[in-house]
């Protein structure tokens, strides 16, 4: 069973890498000035900003024109021979907060081995997938010639004998890039992994039933859990399912769209700090806030910020249940009251900034931190967390678009 395989990765050549690589599309949606500063810094240079669709643009009136410009820019980059191809795994060394290094491997995952529902399959979602969030992403991918991933998938490797072992030998590997990411993203390095097939076999070995039973008390059949980019992987899955209907079995077997390029990271690696994702609710009233208080019960507490005042309210003590309860209330109220809008904000300071920038009433909900050690247990025993339950690191340390891969033949 091939869950992951060696990718054909496209790396740009003769470009300014600091202008090329840009933050994941779903970041800083409540901070338009971030994107304005980034656009000004990039100017006319080739950039992933021009071949992705920042979600802050979803409110634009000319979305279709923006999508067409993404396709046209992709086509231009390919026609002008902007890329070189690396037919190996890439070891990624990312500098994150407090000088920590987050290590990853660029691999291809088999989308037939992924499902966002709670079924026994090697690649599992960790958060709820909301299909209504996908139409723009699906439309872009439907005619995209290349993909640029910001998705991170996790392996359960507390022994640290896979990715970390490669990193220990990094000085013997070819360095493909080494530069500082823009907008405070920290340094990033990429190394070509020569023994890719051997590493892939080592990863697949984690599916061995005896290994599974030792970890989870039963053969759970899980190899990878999505750490970031649940909706991006769901988009790729839906695109592949639609495309499969037009292909013969032979054409399906190794079609590039059957796979998705992701960064694979050890759940127990350094730099794997799980951070909360806060909520800011626009246009609430006193009744809305009182309803939230009534909906949350328990021995824990969360902080809310409303009309310039901070208050701690009762909530479930366990972070996972508190996150579920908050999101359940938010989603229910959005259906009942269309004037209510919600945005998801990383970092306490960014939440306060978003609250201060909004001219009307808003409600800030400071969410609890989800412990990473509980993630796989929750997924196996309970199912998916609600959307935006946790973030891997601060927003500046989210994955940047950098490597690409062709998804058409």
pLDDT tens digit at each of 409 positions of the chain: 799 999 999 999 999 999 999 999 988 888 889 999 999 999 999 999 999 999 888 877 889 999 999 999 999 999 999 999 999 999 999 999 888 999 999 999 999 999 988 889 999 999 887 777 688 899 999 999 999 999 999 999 999 999 999 999 999 999 999 999 999 999 999 999 999 999 999 999 999 999 999 999 999 999 999 999 898 999 999 999 999 999 999 999 999 999 999 999 999 999 898 999 999 999 999 999 999 999 999 999 999 999 999 999 999 999 999 999 999 999 999 999 988 999 999 889 989 999 998 988 999 999 999 999 999 999 999 889 998 899 888 889 999 999 999 999 8
**What does the alpha-carbon distance between residue 94 and residue 274 come to, in Å, rounded to a whole number?**
16
Helix axes 135-142 and 230-244, enclosed angle (nearest 10): 50
Burial degree of 179 (CB within 10 A; 0-12, 13-18, 19+)? middle
Query: In which residue are the tokens 């491997």 written?
Result: 105
Rg of the chain (C-alpha set): 21
**What does the alpha-carbon distance between residue 391 and residue 348 come to, in Å, rounded to a whole number?**
13
Output the CA angle 295-297-300, nearest 5 degrees.
130
- Answer yes or no: are the C-beta atoms of 353 and 323 closer than 8 Å: no
DSSP 8-state code for residue 369: P
pTM: 0.91
DSSP 8-state code for residue 202: H
Q: Per the structure block, which two tokens stand in for 113?
A: 């081995």
């Amino acid at each position: 069973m091939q869950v992951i395989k060696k990718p054909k990765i496209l790396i740009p050549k003769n470009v300014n890498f600091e202008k090329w690589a840009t933050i994941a599309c779903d970041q800083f949606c409540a901070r338009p000035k971030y994107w304005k500063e980034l656009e000004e810094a990039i100017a006319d240079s080739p950039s992933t900003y021009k071949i992705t669709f920042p979600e802050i643009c979803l409110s634009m009136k000319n979305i279709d024109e923006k999508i067409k410009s993404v396709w046209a820019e992709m086509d231009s980059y390919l026609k002008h021979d902007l890329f070189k191809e690396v037919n190996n795994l890439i070891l990624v060394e990312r500098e994150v907060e407090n000088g920590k290094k987050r290590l990853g491997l660029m691999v291809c995952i088999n989308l037939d081995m992924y499902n966002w529902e709670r079924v026994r399959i090697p690649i599992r979602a960790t958060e709820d997938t909301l299909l209504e969030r996908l139409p723009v992403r699906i439309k872009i991918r439907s005619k995209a010639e290349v993909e640029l991933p910001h998705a991170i998938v996790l392996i359960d490797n507390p022994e640290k004998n896979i990715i970390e072992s490669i990193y220990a030998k990094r000085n013997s590997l070819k360095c493909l890039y080494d530069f500082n990411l823009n907008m405070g993203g920290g340094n990033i390095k990429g190394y070509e992994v020569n023994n890719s097939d051997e590493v892939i076999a080592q990863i697949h070995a984690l599916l061995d039933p005896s290994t599974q039973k030792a970890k989870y008390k039963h053969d759970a059949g899980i190899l990878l859990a999505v750490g970031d980019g649940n909706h991006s992987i769901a988009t790729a899955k839906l695109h592949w399912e639609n495309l499969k209907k037009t292909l013969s079995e032979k054409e399906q077997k190794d079609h590039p769209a059957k796979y998705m390029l992701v960064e694979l990271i050890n759940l127990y690696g350094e730099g794997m700090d799980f951070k909360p994702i806060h909520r800011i609710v626009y246009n609430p009233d006193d009744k809305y806030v009182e309803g939230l208080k009534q909906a949350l019960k328990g021995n824990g507490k969360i902080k809310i910020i409303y009309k310039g005042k901070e208050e701690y309210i009762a909530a479930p003590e366990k972070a996972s249940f508190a996150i579920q309860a908050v999101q359940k209330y938010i989603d229910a109220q959005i259906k009942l009251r269309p004037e209510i809008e919600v945005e998801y904000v990383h970092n306490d300071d960014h939440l306060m900034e978003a609250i201060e920038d909004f001219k009307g009433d808003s409600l800030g909900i400071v969410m609890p931190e989800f412990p990473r050690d509980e993630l796989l247990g929750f997924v196996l025993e309970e199912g998916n967390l609600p959307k935006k339950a946790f973030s891997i690191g601060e927003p500046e340390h989210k994955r940047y678009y950098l490597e690409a891969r062709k998804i058409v033949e």
